[in-house]
Structure 1
Amino acid sequence: MTVDKLLMMKELPETERPREKLLAKGTQNLSNAELLAILLRTGKQNMPVSRLAEQILSKYELKGLASITPQELSKTAGVGLAKAVSVVAGIELGRRVCHQEPGERPVIKSPQDAANLVMSELRYQAKEHFMALLLSTKNHVIARVIVSVGSLSASIVHPRELFREAISYSAAAVILIHNHPSGDPTPSQEDILLTRQLVEAGNLLHISVLDHVIIGDGKYVSFKEKGII
């Protein structure tokens, strides 16, 4: 850390510096910018790390940081590739903790259960991710698999890819899940057509497609609840 950066940090009372504040008051008392500042560690010339963190959040917001790449973040002045990697790794670790499954396999009793299980993972993805929850005969989640990753507005799924995974895990049923990067989970005609094709393929293999849940930004649509399947 340069002398200038040290001086800028010392302008803050010690108890208000992000690291010292975290130790004294706990993580819950830090702002988003303060938490990001800890990951960044240092600022840039004539700009303290807290200001740099605020600048990054103003540009990308939390939603943008959730799907940013190290290469993209490193283009920000004062954020080299090493800092960018630290930030992205910290965000990914938090995401994994958020949707970590408990020791006992979760049971899907409703579309809300399915949505809750993947919401934090999918709601901010910049591309469509098509996922399947593979279930036992009692609707315990055996596994969740990413079947395909599409473009900004579409994912391409072939029945063969989906049911290969289901068969390999000896799944009795599946729940289809994919996200809409726009944040609006309203199903398109293509979504409905694809779902019906997958339901028919599942019937032939005696693997039930119980639902298709589309994830938006904090909300979802269930084809079962809507009466589509």
Structure 2
Amino acid sequence: MIVQEKLLMKFCNQVPKSIRPRERLRLYGVKALSNQELLSVLLRTGSKKEHVMEVALHLLNQFENLHELKEATVEELQKINGIGEIKALEIKAAIELGCRIAGSNQLKLGKVSSSKQIARSMMYELKDLKQEHLIALYLNVKNELLKKETIFIGSLNQTIAHPREIFKGAVRCSAAQIILVHNHPSGNPTPSTNDILFTRRIFSCGRMMGIELLDHLIVGTKSYISLKESGECEE
């Protein structure tokens, strides 16, 4: 990755800087543009006092890195000279679209081969979330993914994460098996007592309904835990 970044920077430096960003994009492709130039293309215009490139530079300087920019609120963006509500909303929409495009290749309808496959995909999707998300993956008897659904957002406990909400979706799409995934915003996937009790309850309900709980995965920032491998996907 470092080598690729150096090559990209070398290429960018070779592209004439006198050409306007949009023209550079058309002639040399999107990867030839710096972060400042990409933002200027997105912003389109500057303010009465500053060129669009200057506004883009102010935007980059306001945040330590692109991740911080991604997390910025509309209100925080509007504090930057030259960025009003419309531009702030457009920036947020563009960032979200980029995130969705990046995540779209992580998990597609198809055959699930292992818990590890699911965990890696979901770690990418859930890594920046500030709250716990419980997601159900509904599968048929051939381990083919029928549907992915977010069941709820919030702390995992038996009152909020009721089995009926999970199995209602399974029945609706005629699923034979389910895999549950939820994130720990702390980054540490170690299961809590509630996580374990909840998993056992879902397993028991699934057995009665004839819908098997294949696994319950807890994902952190860089690692995950399979409660099936831990022996918790049982009564």
TM-score (norm 2): 0.76
Q: 1:111 to 1:32 in 2, by over 3 A?
A: farther
Q: Which amino acid aligns with 2:30?
A: T
Q: What is the aligned counterpart of 1:23 among 2, 26, 31?
A: 26
SS of the residue 1:99 aligns to: helix
Q: Which amino acid aligns with 2:151?
A: V
Q: Residue 195 of structure 1: CA displacement?
A: 1.4
Q: Distance in 1 between matches of 2:70 and 2:229?
A: 29
The answer on whether the counterparts of 2:50 and 2:82 sit within 8 Å (CA) in structure 1 is: no
Q: What is the aligned counterpart of 1:195 among 196, 199, 207?
A: 199
The answer on whether the counterparts of 2:78 and 2:88 sit within 8 Å (CA) in structure 1 is: yes
The answer on whether the counterparts of 1:67 and 1:126 sit within 8 Å (CA) in structure 2 is: no
Q: Distance in 2 between matches of 1:177 and 1:39?
A: 35
SS of the residue 2:175 aligns to: coil
Q: Which amino acid aligns with 2:121?
A: L
Q: 1:139 to 1:19 in 2, by over 3 A?
A: same
SS of the residue 1:14 aligns to: coil
Q: Which amino acid aligns with 1:160?
A: R
SS of the residue 2:216 aligns to: strand
Which ranges in structure 1 are unaligned for 5 or more consecutive residues? 1-11
Aligned to 1:225: 229
Q: What is the aligned counterpart of 1:52 among 48, 58, 68?
A: 58
Rg larger in structure: 2
Q: Distance in 1 between matches of 2:153 and 2:164?
A: 15
Q: Distance in 1 between matches of 2:33 and 2:231?
A: 44
Q: Distance in 2 between matches of 1:126 and 1:146?
A: 15
Q: Distance in 2 between matches of 1:132 and 1:196?
A: 16
Q: Distance in 2 between matches of 1:80 and 1:96?
A: 25
Q: Distance in 1 between matches of 2:141 and 2:164?
A: 21
Aligned to 1:130: 134
Q: Which amino acid aligns with 1:164?
A: K
Q: Residue 131 of structure 1: CA displacement?
A: 0.7
Q: Does 1:13 align with 2:17?
A: yes
The answer on whether the counterparts of 1:130 and 1:147 sit within 8 Å (CA) in structure 2 is: yes
Q: Distance in 2 between matches of 1:32 and 1:215?
A: 31
Quote the RMSD (CA, aligned, Å). 2.8
Q: 1:224 to 1:30 in 2, by over 3 A?
A: farther
Q: Distance in 1 between matches of 2:205 and 2:135?
A: 17
Greater CA drift, 29-38 or 211-220: 29-38
Which ranges in structure 2 are unaligned for 5 or more consecutive residues? 1-15
Identity %: 41
Aligned to 2:113: 109
SS of the residue 2:151 aligns to: strand
Aligned to 2:42: 39
Q: 1:139 to 1:21 in 2, by over 3 A?
A: same
Alignment deviations for residues 83-135 of structure 1 (CA, whole Å, 9 cap, x no partner):
12212221222233233369x83211111221233333321112211111111
SS of the residue 2:22 aligns to: helix
Aligned to 1:176: 180
Q: Residue 191 of structure 1: CA displacement?
A: 1.6
Aligned to 2:11: none
The answer on whether the counterparts of 2:55 and 2:81 sit within 8 Å (CA) in structure 1 is: no
